[in-house]
A and B are shown apart, each in its own frame.
Chain A
Amino acid sequence: MNLQYIGLKEINGPLIFLDNVKGIGFDEMVEIRLENGSVRHGRVVEITGDLAAILVFEGTRDLSLTNTVIKFNGKPMEIGLSKNVLGRVFNGIGSPIDDLGPVYVDEYRDINGEPLNPVSRLYPKNYINTGISSIDGLTTLIRGQKLPIFSGSGLPHNDLAVQIVKQAKLTGKDADKFAVIFAAMGVTNDVANYFRRSFEEAGVLDNVVMFLNLSNDPIIERLLTPRCALTTAEYLAYKHNMHILVVMTDMTAYCEALREFSSSKGEIPGRKGYPGYLYSDLASLFERAGIIKNAKGSVTQIPILTMPNDDITHPIPDLTGYITEGQIVLDRDLHRQGVYPPIGVLPSLSRLMKDGIGAGYTRKDHQPLMNQIFASYAKVMDARSLASVIGEDELSTTDKSYIQFGKYFEKHFISQGMINREIRETLDLGWKLLSIFPREELDRTDDKILDEFYNHEVAVSQFELNDDLIIKELSNEEN
């Protein structure tokens, strides 16, 4: 039913209210035609009797109570898709902005998606090689996982995202069916260009679909950008059997758009003014990652968010962490020390890695290595906080060996620059670093593994520890 309505009852922020409407559905899309012929889009967000509240994506500027003609589309928002979207650039609501004309449409899909039935999911097991030691080794990314990057303003999350997109590859037989969907929400023009240029330079642009909602684009469009991106991802993954990595940045801007939308609707705010349904709303995006039984493709997500004031307990990172399967946390201290990528190893976690690593996937020593590194590095932190009180000189020799390990670990393992490391190299490097310790200190690992991988002499020569007092002192103490 394509009835048209002229005029409005009320305009309030991004919302317009329309009286005496009949036969419209909740969540339905509308087209708003202005006097000058331009068209905007909106969505029905509330119906009360004959009154409908409509959210206008492009903003309500220039709208008056009389100068609009409104048409209801009779269905929720859809996006037209085909395999030709690969290599294209779209705006936040899925219209092409790369001057290459419209996209051939094979199928229209509702961008809201539907909840995936848990019994139709396949538990993700196969890993994605990112070539970054601290991710591959310690917080392995698994196909079908959602693993966010928690960053802060001024931290190099964009570089990391680009590096992951450039280096990410699958192992196994369907390695070539890999594509990246990039959704930018509220990023600046510079950043968007940086991404586009980097993808171009790396020659991966043909396998990338970009959705750009820039910081000066209408804020409400941001609510649709990730949904367009994920709908495209699902289409490519489940219809064309591709493995899709969706990078979404910056989720903080998305959440702020949601807050703005909620407050203009007059809803009761929850924590820090964010709506009470922020969790459910984020879940409706993040839960679209996964693998479906009987489908050959997969959707993996790396959402990036900047923690306001580096506060991990802020509602956005907090709720995200409860939905996603782990997190990669960037650390400002490491960044200041010039470590790139500055990944804070201890608070980072990949929940799905335990089933996607080890023999058959990476290597059998991966799990024990990871456990031991986490345990040892946690002790490095204790030793450092002690050293900050009593001074490094006063530490026991054991604590000194931890300080030593911490230094080398950050210098060689975490800090790797733009280099691409094979998983094998990462694991070997990890063992070399652990071998700095006397064998007794490695109390998380059983003897069989240590017999095979522990080699103190190699560590001593590799890191030129020969002249180092630590080792001498340690052996002195034992005699």
Chain B
Amino acid sequence: MNEVYSINGPVIKVKNAKNFKIMEKVFVGKQKLLGEVISINDDHTVIQVYESTTGLMRGEKVYNSGEAISAVLGPGLLGNIFDGIQRPLYSIFEANGAYIKPGTNVDCLDMKKTWNIKMKVKTGDYIRFGQIFAVVQETSLIEHRLLVPKNVIGEVIMAKPDGHYSLEDVVVQVKDKNDTIHNLSLYQKWPIKEPRPIAKRLPLTIPLVSGQRVIDTLFPIAKGGSAAVPGGFGTGKTMMQHQFAKWCDADIIVYIGCGERGNEMTQTLDEFTELIDPKSNKPLIERTVLIANTSNMPVAAREASIYTGITIAEYYRDMGYHVALMADSTSRWAEALREISGRLEEMPAEEGFPAYLPSRISQFYERAGYVNTLSDSSGSVSIVGAISPQGADFSEPVTQNTKRFVRAFWALDKELAYARHYAAINWNLSYSEYIGDLSKWYNKNISTDFLESRQRFITILAEENKLMEIVKLIGKDVLPDDQKLVLEIARVIRVGYLQQNAFHKDDTFVPLEKQLRMMKLILYLEKSASNILKEGKAFSLLQKSNIFEKIIKVKYDIPNDNLDMFEEYYKIIDESLSQIR
């Protein structure tokens, strides 16, 4: 029997063991702490333990399980909140109160609850891995499609009728060509570190619309794409992830709180339960899976939380849904890798991070994609990963390595956050490589004006950036009037467009149509104002007319459901400018 030989925090060693497999799930000690085998040599086996090892003794037994650490996939995931190794926090709460005690053994999904399923196959049908064999209304928003598990291919020899079943009930039996019988129940297991297979990757041509102007307009992300949000503390990373999770047009949200604050996860849970999705009038939580491994929970489980989350995301993708996964924050995950690597006494690379950091990061982001699924539908997983760079220094390893594997980069800026300009995305440092792939969609579904106006915005902001260099040296007053106008229009864009108030009922989510109209209105103001200047009128007259302030407040003054009001504002611009003439 295998026994604990050495203990160092979450890392334990077992001597002279032969029957362990790499990445196998094991149970450690009397308390049956959950662990995973991470390295094996002829002398000893190294196991990382996902729970606190306080009180663990040398000589306690280590039990094999024979299988890899897996996610349990089935109805009941949505609306639930799990820790990093997919133990439902509500069940833990019921089992041992306010604190999470080590060795808590609870089912990942409620095995007793029954679900009303509708069968999609009948006896005699031929089915294979990835196909849909039954459906169940998981929440009022989402139909859960039960997929044939891995390695199952053959003829249905038994299919139960529609009706209520619990997760463990066998509803379908399949006989394969070797005459082996496979029992299909309502759930399946999938190893969290193994990507779920797909039929084919598709090009990314549709944006993931979030209603956040600076993202949708300037730095969009495609469905199936990946984006990184780096920012020092206090720059609003989490707020940004929340806004994105609330409003983006994905069907399913997987939100991973990885090594972050407990109060924040409570807030996410409260908010998502209360918030009503505008499209369906149902609480957002009905399309959301939350994973919370807060900073004080065991560090090894933090490492696993990212994989648990992405596996669940892929599972819903395989049903044909668009899934958006938020990971807050990937830096904590990288630090968990570093901590465990340090305990294993591996040779460190940059800043103590292990040499395999880049490959782990790429493996994670590469699990995003827009795909044809094995069930002949299409779905996507988009990833938005927050990064907490040490000292807000973007040259640190996690930011740099992530930059290589994501195509949208939303850099959060301390200065903007200090001035309470949210979302504090710095337009000079951020980029999106998706814009080319998405241009067709914008032209077809919104208007060809959209990208043109966007380009004009970028030009004005770049020009402002240049002019500010001068202004910093000699002040604004000495600039010629046309350049003063550029600065003023840039201010209108910054304050009236890029800055967005998450707590305002209309401004928190802005449809693309309104974004376009706002852009056009601002550009109309720019054109009219520059005409006035050309007629020889002084810029100070323009400023006095107060028209800029009026346009800045358009974001609040025109409700999302009354876009016709924009016409009035064109008139207001004309009128106030004609007074100057």
Q: A residues near B, CB below 8 A?
A: 22-28, 46-50, 75-76, 112-124, 144-145, 238, 267-271, 275-277, 279-280, 283-284, 287-288, 290, 292-293, 295, 312-315, 318, 321-323, 325-327, 346-347, 349, 351-352, 354-355, 367, 371, 374-375, 378-379, 385-386, 389-390, 394-396, 399, 440, 443-444, 446, 477-478
Contact = CB atoms under 8 A, between A and B. Distances in A.
Given A76-B55, A267-B342, A117 B393 contact: no
Interface in B76-92: 81, 89-90, 92
A275 B473 CA distance: 44
Contacts of B7: 26, 46-47
B503 to A, nearest CB: 7
Given A49-B5, A315-B390, A26 B296 contact: no
Contacts of B473: 389-390
A268 B295 contact: no
Nearest to A396: B477
Contact of A386 (B8, B259, B345, B472): B472
A279 B335 contact: yes
Contacts of B525: none
Contacts of A327: 233-234
B388 interface: yes
Contacts of B556: 446
Interface in B320-353: 332, 335, 338-339, 342, 345, 348, 351-352
B351 A271 contact: yes
Contacts of B52: 114
Looking at B99, B233, B393, the one whose CB has the most chain A CB atoms below 10 A away is B233
Interface stretch (B56-64, B123-131, B458-466): B56-64
B6 interface: yes
Nearest to A268: B342
A121 B99 contact: no
Contact of B342 (A27, A276, A325): A276
B57 A279 contact: no
Given A123-B267, A279-B295, A375 B89 contact: no
Given A115-B294, A118-B265, A290-B262, 10 more contacts: A27-B54, A118-B294, A119-B269, A124-B263, A267-B342, A270-B351, A275-B342, A280-B339, A287-B295, A399-B476
14 contacts: A119-B81, A119-B266, A121-B263, A268-B342, A270-B352, A275-B342, A276-B342, A277-B339, A287-B261, A295-B98, A313-B390, A325-B261, A325-B263, A440-B549
Contacts of A26: 7, 53-57
Contact of A112 (B54, B59, B345): B54
Given A120-B93, A277-B339, A440-B546, A46 B8 contact: yes
Size range of the chain B interface in the assembly:
35 or more
B16 to A, nearest CB: 12
B474 interface: yes
A262 to B, nearest CB: 10
B245 interface: no
A114 B338 contact: no
A22 B58 contact: yes
Contacts of A114: 52, 99-101
Contacts of B263: 121, 123-124, 144-145, 290, 325, 352
Contact of A287 (B296, B418, B540): B296
Contacts of B55: 25-28, 75-76
Contacts of A321: 232-234
Contacts of A444: 420
Contacts of A23: 57-59
B495 interface: yes
B503 A24 contact: no
B419 interface: yes
A118 B352 contact: no
Contacts of B97: 120
A124 B5 CA distance: 44
Given A25-B57, A325-B261, A478-B544, A390 B234 contact: no
B338 A270 contact: yes
A-B pairs, 10 with minimum CB distance: A313-B391, A283-B295, A378-B419, A287-B296, A321-B233, A48-B6, A114-B99, A27-B54, A120-B98, A118-B265
A417 to B, nearest CB: 26
B419 A123 contact: no
Looking at A118, A295, A478, the one whose CB has the most chain B CB atoms below 10 A away is A118
A269 B338 CA distance: 10
Contacts of A379: 419
A268 B340 CA distance: 11
A315 to B, nearest CB: 7
B256 interface: no
B93 A119 contact: yes
A251 B15 CA distance: 39
Contacts of B420: 371, 374-375, 378, 444
Contact of B58 (A47, A268, A318): A47
Given A47-B6, A276-B335, A117 B472 contact: no
A122 B266 contact: yes
A321 B90 CA distance: 29
B392 interface: yes
Contacts of B338: 270, 276
Contacts of B54: 25-27, 76, 112
A385 B6 contact: no
A477 B538 CA distance: 13
B299 interface: yes
A96 B99 CA distance: 29
B297 interface: yes
Contacts of B194: none
A443 B495 contact: yes
B312 interface: no
Nearest to B347: A268
A121 B262 contact: yes
B233 A477 contact: no
Contacts of B9: 277
B476 A116 contact: no
B297 to A, nearest CB: 5
